[in-house]
Structure 1
Amino acid sequence: MNSSNVTADPPQGRRERNKQRVRDSIYYAAIELFADQGYDQTTVDEIAEKADVARGTFFNHFQKKEDLITEWGAKRRDVLREGLAAATETDPRRALLECMGLLADISLSDPALTRALTTAWVKAGYILQEEPYLSDMLGDFVVEARRRGQVPDSVDPRLAGLLLRDVYFGTVFRWVQRPEGESDLAADLHTACETVLDGIMPLSAHGS
């Protein structure tokens, strides 16, 4: 092979990849510690030590420990987007229930981490600052159901999305507060969501 024909990676590209690798190393070290010993019990120094970086390097990537909660939420949204993109259900009601199932699966994929960071997320007040991504997405299902005549025109999709979001967060938070194994998160979310849908989708078919 003629080395003159080989194009080297742009230095900036390599730097960005290295930067991302360090950030990922810090993040995954942190969530392992959070799951093992709890969010409040974990210090920045412990995270830096586990990630094998200097304390200052941690702050180059995350201004404060709470930013790791935001990162955790963003990664969960990415998983949800991927799951919804692969979904084939077209009926809005059943698709909404399927979405709740995906949300349950995401939380149950690492229950200890979900318990640790959900509690920290609420204590940090992030529930009051939550971006409207989830409520907007849930509201889109209601928009489609209304287009199909399954929801009365009097139902506001935006408010319905907010209600469904609150049902989701409330159900997860109650699950987090209970002793492990005492409740079934997936079943609780399904039941809670169906209860709301029975109110806002009285015209929809209930076959599922």
Structure 2
Amino acid sequence: MTDPTAPPRGTVDPPTGRRELNKVRTREAVAGSLQALLRRHPVAEITVDQVAEGAGISRRTFFNYYAGLPAVLVEVFSGHAEQMVARVDAALLARDPLQALRRLVAAGGVDPDFLGWMVALNAHGPAGGDPTLERAVWTELGAWFETRLRDLFPEGTDPLYLTTLAASVMHAFAAAEQEWLAGPTRPASLTPQDLSAFGEHLDRALGHLARGWRPTSRS
């Protein structure tokens, strides 16, 4: 006997679908609001209230999603990093992780929007006058990357190896960012030359790791 209260076959529960869609839209609105504010103000001067207003939500709703502004940046950066990790040669990563990452960089694997966030965050000086915030973001990304490496590497891989690798790679990214931003002023709309320059800095940083920190001349 057919249950008259059951939804038609082949349909998706609309309320659940709408809720999930609303969550995605809210997160996108928050990220967009923060990025727009970063282009006009140092991050140290930006408040949760301003971000919430720009996203069209209440302060309470913001804190339902995020613990604070650093959490927004971590989510954005880790989302881009996840896309990069998905394009890494998994077999090569297990054998030679630094070579796998360098190949990804050489193939243009760093998302321009990821770099755009770096530019926006530092548009008014190093980390917008709040360098501790960016350090906290890189630390959180290192923890995220370590978790992903545990998923990607064979079971039984030395945990200390994975922890050291994750921290070293994140520091290489942070060092490449620092040198890239110390060069010519980067525009909001990055050019292919800007993207190439970051890739060169990151490849050099990863190269230092791969060579075991043996001194080399800058090429």
Q: TM-score, normalised by structure 1?
A: 0.64
Structure-2 separation of matches of 1:139 and 1:190:
23
2:102 aligned counterpart, secondary structure: helix
State which drifts further: 122-131 or 75-84: 122-131
Deviations 1:54-75 (A, max 9, x none): 3332222223222212212221
Q: Would the alpha carbon gap of residues 63 and 103 (structure 1) be closer, same or farther in structure 2, given more than 3 Å must change?
A: farther
1:158-169 pair list within 5 angstroms: 159=164, 162-169=167-174
Deviations 1:22-66 (A, max 9, x none): 232222222232244342233323222222223332222223222
1:66 aligned counterpart, secondary structure: helix
Structure-1 separation of matches of 2:166 and 2:34:
32
Q: Would the alpha carbon gap of residues 35 and 17 (structure 1) be closer, same or farther in structure 2, given more than 3 Å must change?
A: same
Choose from 81, 91, 94 the match for 1:77: 81
* Residue 186 in structure 1 maps to residue 190 in structure 2: no
1:189 aligned counterpart, secondary structure: helix
Q: Hey, what does 1:199 align to over in structure 2?
A: 212
Q: Hey, what does 2:103 align to over in structure 1?
A: 98
RMSD: 4.1
Q: TM-score, normalised by structure 2?
A: 0.61
Choose from 54, 58, 61 the match for 1:57: 61
Read off the aligned partner of 1:76 and give its amino acid letter: H
2:13 aligned counterpart, secondary structure: coil
Choose from 88, 113, 123 the match for 2:132: 123
What is the identity percentage for the equivalent residue pairs of Structure 1 and Structure 2?
Answer: 20
Structure 1: any 5+ residue segments left out of the alignment? 145-155, 201-208
Q: What is the Cα deviation at residue 110 of structure 1?
A: 5.4
Structure-1 separation of matches of 2:121 and 2:74:
10
Preserved contact between residue 84 and residue 110 of structure 2 (Cα < 8 Å): no
Structure-2 separation of matches of 1:42 and 1:115:
16
Read off the aligned partner of 1:81 and give its amino acid letter: V
2:67 aligned counterpart, secondary structure: coil
Q: What is the Cα deviation at residue 114 of structure 1?
A: 0.8
Structure-1 separation of matches of 2:114 and 2:184:
15
Q: Hey, what does 1:19 align to over in structure 2?
A: 23
Read off the aligned partner of 2:177 and give its amino acid letter: V
Structure-1 separation of matches of 2:164 and 2:17:
43
Q: Would the alpha carbon gap of residues 162 and 51 (structure 1) be closer, same or farther in structure 2, given more than 3 Å must change?
A: closer
State which drifts further: 173-182 or 71-80: 173-182
